[in-house]
Structure 1
């Protein structure tokens, strides 16, 4: 079964070492890409490659063709597989683009979560700014103005789960913040980003629920081998 990648732990680059040098070898170990094949054969090959990459690099690699904007620029993955001889390089390029996107989010998440203010009255604007920044980063990669909603939902769930919010709670918060009014074609604007950021931050820091009040500043900037990510051991969540 394909990983759903709903939590940051499934895609966090800090958890999954990555050496791009052997991507093509991993792909070549799978049966050659089908040439002039039907859709079912092509998708079967994509699934086989995805499984091999996930086994080698971690669950994040299963969706090696997920980089925001790739679908809009090049079409569905089943429509853009090149001839067999060029397929390994194509997969390697797509996987590395996907990894770079995740690393760019990781930098943002780490910078924000390490600098959370201690004062409660400063938490709300800090979260609003972080949410707006994540949305802006994701939207910048998207070509089709109608596809921003799905990617913003995914990235915001990752941000919340990176901060220790349980996955189901994170999904509920994001769903409420974005709402059904954005399920149909609605061009994104700075006003929409601001509204979503304000609503999500307010709901996240509801004083009657769970509040993120701890500042994570007791961990080094670099990690010795085999050390856990701070996200795995410091949730920063307390009952309000």
Structure 2
């Protein structure tokens, strides 16, 4: 079920410019009505645990695009470890009655979308001037600054809880893709830069962030 797993999302799949989205109050109520019949019973949640909300995820992804599969990527040890969503804890703790649970799922989707749009704004502000041409020379300072700021904001939003570094790596890869670097090279750059420096339940200190950012800048410059 990788197609429902937000850890595998690419920037092309979440980019707000490619996937416009708006949900006013009426549309949010309609979505909640569609979600409610898909909310499992507590017994099903206990049996299926992390996959109990798959029908809801399938609905949202089919309706709005694959980016929506991150709706329940909550902070800490939720349905998927290491996310940024606070509106949804996990199926085991959040699922009650369908009518009470459905609006929480909608709120979680909106929170996830807000995060993606926030990242797009940050990428625009942090990208080097020549991002439209990945072959152009770029001052490594741009890459270092971007890495420092993105690692810091992801650590803050995830509260550096369980497996937070997975989304951190993803966000850095998204930024490189936004900046014109192909996905395979972006993965190599991020892997080489982080290389076991981050851990669960531990927010990186300034020295570690500086070291990672410096390596990110050098590696990006080398692999472009």
TM bin, normalised by shorter chain, reads 0.7 to 0.9
The secondary structure found in structure 2 opposite 1:155 is: helix
CA distance in 1, matches of 2:97, 2:52: 13
Would you say the 8 A contact 1:67–1:101 is kept in 2?
no
The secondary structure found in structure 2 opposite 1:26 is: helix
Deviation at 1:47, TM superposition (A): 0.6
Q: Which runs of 5+ in 1 are unaligned?
A: 211-240
Question: Rg: which structure is higher?
Answer: 1
Deviations 1:158-198 (A, max 9, x none): 11111222222211211111112435664411111111111
Number of residues of Structure 1 aligned to a counterpart in Structure 2: 207
Deviation at 1:137, TM superposition (A): 1.3
Name whichever of 32-41 and 14-23 sits farther off.
Answer: 32-41
CA distance in 1, matches of 2:121, 2:218: 24
2:41 to 35, 40, 50: 35
CA RMSD of aligned residues (A): 2.8
Larger RCO of the pair (alpha carbons < 8 Å, separation 6+): 1
Deviations 1:101-133 (A, max 9, x none): 11110001112236359994x610111001111
Q: What residue number does 2:14 align with?
A: 11
Q: 1:78 to 1:142 in 2, by over 3 A?
A: same
Would you say the 8 A contact 2:74–2:89 is kept in 1?
no
Q: What is the TM-score when the length of structure 1 is the normalising length? A: 0.74
2:31 to 23, 26, 29: 26
The secondary structure found in structure 2 opposite 1:201 is: helix
Deviation at 1:45, TM superposition (A): 4.9
Residues 213-224 of structure 1 correspond to what in structure 2 (within 5 A)? none
Q: Which runs of 5+ in 2 are unaligned?
A: none
Name whichever of 64-73 and 80-89 sits farther off.
Answer: 64-73
Q: What is the TM-score when the length of structure 2 is the normalising length? A: 0.79
Name whichever of 92-101 and 178-187 sits farther off.
Answer: 178-187
Deviations 1:2-26 (A, max 9, x none): 4354421111111112122324423
Name whichever of 160-169 and 47-56 sits farther off.
Answer: 160-169
Q: 1:44 to 1:153 in 2, by over 3 A?
A: closer
Q: What residue number does 2:60 align with?
A: 53
Q: 1:77 to 1:154 in 2, by over 3 A?
A: farther
Name whichever of 122-131 and 34-43 sits farther off.
Answer: 34-43
